[in-house]
Amino acid sequence: MRRGLARLTKREEKTGLLDVTTAIGTRDGWQAVLAEHRVSVRGHSVVRNAPGSRP
């Protein structure tokens, strides 16, 4: 599990999800960042959303 979380964190950093820490301090803020980057977190993976899909 620890490796999975480490990989997830690296992917979040690479995707830019953790760039604005003030935006991710709340659930709504985190959801907005995910939507802005058009990605979702599924388990220990960051996945691109299909165009027109909902997270």
The per-residue pLDDT string of the chain (55 residues; one tens digit each, 9 = 90 and over) reads: 788 899 999 999 999 999 999 989 999 999 999 999 999 999 999 999 987 766 5
Token duo for residue 2: 């620890």
pLDDT at site 54: 63
Distance CA 34, CA 39 (A): 5
The amino acid present at 33, given as its one-letter code, is: V
Query: What pLDDT does 33 receive?
Result: 96
| Pairwise CA distance, residues 17 & 12, whole Å | 5
Return the beta strands (E) in the chain as ranges: 39-42, 45-48
